[in-house]
C-alpha cells in the first residue's frame, strides 16, 4: 500500500515536467494553421484528464483503458461522423448524430470540421453543435469554420464568422488573422489583408513565423516587393527564425523575377542555417526554372534532390523533361532523381522508338509481347520471357534488346540488364554502343567488375570501342581489386590500335600493384619496342612500382630516363594520349 502511494506521488511530481516538454515543441511554429490549433486543443484535453485522475486502485485500471482506447475510438468516431455528413441527407444525419453516445466538445467538433465535409453540411453541423446542451464553440472551431468558407471563396460568409467572433468576445489569435488575410488576398482584396495585418498588431497579437511567412507571400504575390522585404526584416528583428516555408516564399519570388543567382544563394544559406529545403520547395523551384528556361539552376536543385532522396510531382517532371529536351541538355540526372517516373519516358520514347525501327523488319509475336510487358512495367515477366527465349534460342529485334538493357539500368536492375546482355551474346545480337557503356557504368558503380571482360569482348566483337580512357580506367580498377588475370585478358582482347599510352600504363600499374614487378617491366619494355608514346605519368608509375617492390637497383637508371624525357617534353607539345594518361594517373606524378 505504501509502495503504491509513493509511486503515485512520484508520478504526480513528475507530471508538470512531462507537460512542459510537450508545450515547448520546437516545431510548433512550423506547421500549418489547422495543425497549430489541433495541437493546442489536444494539449488541453490531456491536461483535463490528468487533473481528474482517479486515486483508488480499482479505478486505476479503468483510467488506463480510458487513456489507451480513445486514441483508436475517437479517430474511428470522427471518421464515422464525417461519412454521415458526406453521404446522408441533413435530416438523416441529425438523427444519426443524436444517436451517437459520445461527449461533444470543441475538440471533437473541430476535428470533424477538419475532415472537410461539404461546405453546406459543415455549416449546418456547426450550428447544430452550438445548440447542444453544455457545448460552446471556441476560437478553434470558429477559425476552422472561417477557413472552410475562405477556401470555398465565400468571403462574405467568412467575414460573418469573423464578426460573430468579435461580437461574442471569442479569442482571435495570430492563426485566425493569418487565415483571414490569406483568403482575402487570394480573392484579390490586398487592401483588406493589409488592414487585417495592422489590426492584428494594434491589438497586441504578436505574429509568429507562419503569420510572417503568409503575409510576405501576400505582398510578393501582389508586387509589393519593398513591403515584403520590410516584413522579412521585421520578422528577423522580432526573433522569429525563418523556416523552410519562409525561405521557399523568398526563393519563389526571386525565381519569378529571374534572379536565379540569388535563389541559389538563399538555397545554400538556408542549409548552412540548418534548414533543409523540402520536397515542396524543390518542386516549386524546378517549376519556376522550367518556365524561365533556366537549366543550370535546375540541375543544381536536382543534384540536391538526388542526395536527399526527394522526387518531383509527375506534372513538374514532365515539364522539366520537355524543357531539357528543348535546351539540348541531358535528362539523365532528372531520370535518376525520379526513377519511379523514368520508365514513363521509355514507354513513350524508347519503346515507341523500338516500334518505329522494327516496323520494316516485321515484329514477331515475341517482340510484341516484350514491348507490351515493358509498357506494363512488368520487368520480372520480361526476365522470365527472356530466359525462356534464350533456352529455345529464339531471337529478338536488336532495338528491343537495347531497350530492355536501358530500362533495367535506369531502374537499377543490374541482373535484369545483364540477362538481356547475356541473351544478346548467346544469340549473336549486336546492341547499341551506349548500352554497353551503361552496363560498364553499372559495374563501376556497384564495384563488381567480374563481368567487365565479357562486355569488352562483346564490344570488340561488334567492331566497336569503349574508348582508350574508359578501357584504361577498367584495367586500373581491376588492378586495384587485385585481379591481374582479368586485366591481362582484357588487354589481350583489344586490337593493337586501341592499345594507347594510357592503356599500357594502366596495365603496368596493375602488375606493380599486384606485386608482379617483372611483368610490369616487361610490359614497359614492350611498350617502348612498339614505339608507343611515353607520358611523364608512365615513368612515374614505373618508378613508384619499382620502389614499392624493392627494386632500388633499377630505379636510378629509369630515373635518369625520366629526367631526360621531362626536359625533352618541355620543348614539344603533348599529344592527346599523353594528356589523357597524365590525367588518369595524376596521383603518381612526383618529381
CB count in 10 Å sphere of residue 574: 14
Amino acid 513: pLDDT: 85
Q: Is 167 exposed, middle or buried (0-12, 13-18, 19+ CB in 10 A)?
A: exposed
Amino acid 571: pLDDT: 63
Amino acid 587: pLDDT: 54
Amino acid 589: pLDDT: 45
Amino acid 562: pLDDT: 80
The answer to whether 311 and 338 are in contact (CB under 8 A) is: yes
Classify each residue of 220-231 as buried b or exposed e, where b means 16 or more C-beta atoms within 10 Å of its C-beta. bbbebeebbeeb
Amino acid 342: pLDDT: 62
Amino acid 264: pLDDT: 94
Alpha-carbon distance of 591 to 578, in angstroms, equals: 17
Amino acid 167: pLDDT: 92
Q: Is 108 exposed, middle or buried (0-12, 13-18, 19+ CB in 10 A)?
A: buried
CA torsion 184-190-196-201 (nearest 10°) is 140
Cell numbers standing for residue 388: 525462356
Amino acid 44: pLDDT: 52
Alpha-carbon distance of 215 to 395, in angstroms, equals: 65
Cell numbers standing for residue 176: 485566425
What is the reported pTM?
0.51
Alpha-carbon distance of 107 to 96, in angstroms, equals: 20
Amino acid 22: pLDDT: 34
Rounded (5°) CA angle 495-500-504: 95
CB count in 10 Å sphere of residue 126: 19
Alpha-carbon distance of 203 to 200, in angstroms, equals: 5
pLDDT, averaged in runs of 10, over the chain (591 residues): 42 40 35 49 48 46 46 77 92 91 90 92 93 92 93 92 92 92 91 92 90 93 91 92 94 93 94 93 94 93 93 91 90 86 54 47 76 85 89 87 88 87 89 86 78 85 82 84 85 84 86 85 85 82 84 80 76 71 63 34
DSSP string, 84-114: HHHHS-HHHHHHHHHT--S---HHHHHHHHT
Cell numbers standing for residue 247: 525561405
Alpha-carbon distance of 340 to 129, in angstroms, equals: 46
Amino acid at each position: 500500500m505504501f509502495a503504491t502511494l509513493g509511486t503515485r506521488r512520484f508520478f504526480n511530481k513528475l507530471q508538470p515536467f512531462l507537460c512542459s516538454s510537450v508545450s515547448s515543441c520546437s516545431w510548433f511554429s512550423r506547421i500549418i494553421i489547422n495543425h497549430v490549433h489541433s495541437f493546442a486543443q489536444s494539449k488541453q484535453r490531456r491536461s483535463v484528464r490528468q487533473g481528474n485522475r482517479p486515486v483508488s486502485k480499482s479505478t486505476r485500471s479503468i483510467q488506463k483503458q480510458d487513456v489507451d482506447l480513445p486514441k483508436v475510438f475517437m479517430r474511428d468516431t470522427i471518421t464515422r461522423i464525417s461519412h454521415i455528413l458526406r453521404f446522408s441527407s441533413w435530416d438523416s444525419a441529425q438523427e444519426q448524430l443524436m444517436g451517437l453516445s459520445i461527449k461533444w466538445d470543441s475538440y471533437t467538433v473541430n476535428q470533424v470540421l477538419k475532415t472537410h465535409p461539404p461546405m453546406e453540411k459543415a455549416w449546418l453541423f456547426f450550428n447544430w453543435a452550438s445548440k447542444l446542451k453544455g457545448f460552446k464553440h471556441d476560437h478553434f472551431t470558429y477559425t476552422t469554420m472561417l477557413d472552410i468558407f475562405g477556401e470555398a471563396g465565400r468571403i462574405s460568409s467568412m467575414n460573418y464568422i469573423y464578426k460573430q467572433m468579435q461580437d461574442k468576445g471569442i479569442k482571435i489569435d495570430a492563426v485566425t488573422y493569418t487565415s483571414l488575410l490569406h483568403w482575402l488576398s487570394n480573392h484579390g482584396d490586398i487592401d483588406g489583408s493589409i488592414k487585417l495585418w495592422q489590426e492584428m498588431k494594434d491589438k497586441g497579437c504578436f505574429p509568429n513565423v507562419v503569420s510572417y511567412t503568409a503575409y510576405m507571400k501576400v505582398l510578393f504575390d501582389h508586387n509589393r516587393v519593398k513591403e515584403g522585404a520590410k516584413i522579412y526584416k521585421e520578422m528577423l528583428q522580432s526573433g522569429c527564425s525563418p523556416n523552410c516555408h519562409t525561405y521557399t516564399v523568398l526563393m519563389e519570388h526571386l525565381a519569378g523575377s529571374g534572379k536565379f543567382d540569388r535563389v541559389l544563394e538563399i538555397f545554400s544559406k538556408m542549409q548552412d542555417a540548418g534548414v533543409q529545403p523540402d520536397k515542396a520547395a524543390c518542386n516549386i523551384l524546378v517549376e519556376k526554372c522550367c518556365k524561365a528556361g533556366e537549366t543550370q539552376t535546375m540541375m543544381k536543385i536536382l543534384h540536391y534532390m538526388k542526395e536527399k532522396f526527394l522526387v518531383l510531382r509527375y506534372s513538374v517532371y514532365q515539364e522539366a523533361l520537355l524543357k531539357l529536351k528543348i535546351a539540348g541538355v541531358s535528362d539523365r540526372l532528372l531520370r535518376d532523381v525520379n526513377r519511379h517516373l523514368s520508365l514513363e519516358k521509355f514507354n513513350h520514347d524508347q519503346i515507341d522508338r523500338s516500334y518505329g525501327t522494327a516496323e520494316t523488319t516485321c515484329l514477331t509475336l515475341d517482340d510484341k509481347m516484350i514491348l507490351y510487358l515493358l509498357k506494363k512495367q512488368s520487368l520480372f515477366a520480361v526476365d522470365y520471357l527472356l530466359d525462356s527465349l534464350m533456352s529455345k534460342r529464339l531471337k529478338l529485334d536488336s532495338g528491343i534488346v537495347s531497350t530492355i538493357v536501358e530500362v533495367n539500368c535506369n531502374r537499377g536492375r543490374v541482373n535484369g540488364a545483364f540477362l538481356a546482355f547475356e541473351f544478346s551474346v548467346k544469340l549473336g545480337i549486336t546492341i547499341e554502343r551506349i548500352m554497353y557503356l551503361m552496363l560498364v557504368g553499372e559495374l563501376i558503380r556497384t564495384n563488381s567488375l567480374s563481368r567487365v571482360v565479357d562486355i569488352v569482348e562483346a564490344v570488340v566483337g561488334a567492331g566497336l570501342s569503349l574508348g582508350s580512357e574508359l578501357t584504361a580506367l577498367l584495367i586500373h580498377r581491376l588492378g586495384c581489386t587485385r585481379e591481374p588475370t582479368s586485366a591481362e585478358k582484357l588487354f589481350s582482347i583489344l586490337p593493337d590500335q586501341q592499345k594507347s599510352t594510357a592503356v599500357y600504363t594502366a596495365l603496368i600499374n596493375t602488375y606493380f600493384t599486384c606485386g608482379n614487378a617483372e611483368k610490369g617491366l616487361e610490359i614497359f619494355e614492350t611498350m617502348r619496342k612498339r614505339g608507343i608514346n611515353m607520358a611523364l605519368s608512365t615513368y612515374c608509375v614505373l618508378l613508384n612500382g619499382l620502389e614499392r617492390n624493392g627494386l632500388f637497383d633499377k630505379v636510378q637508371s629509369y630515373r635518369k630516363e625520366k629526367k631526360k624525357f621531362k626536359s625533352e617534353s618541355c620543348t614539344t607539345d603533348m599529344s592527346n594520349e599523353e594528356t589523357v594518361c597524365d590525367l588518369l594517373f595524376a596521383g603518381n606524378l612526383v618529381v
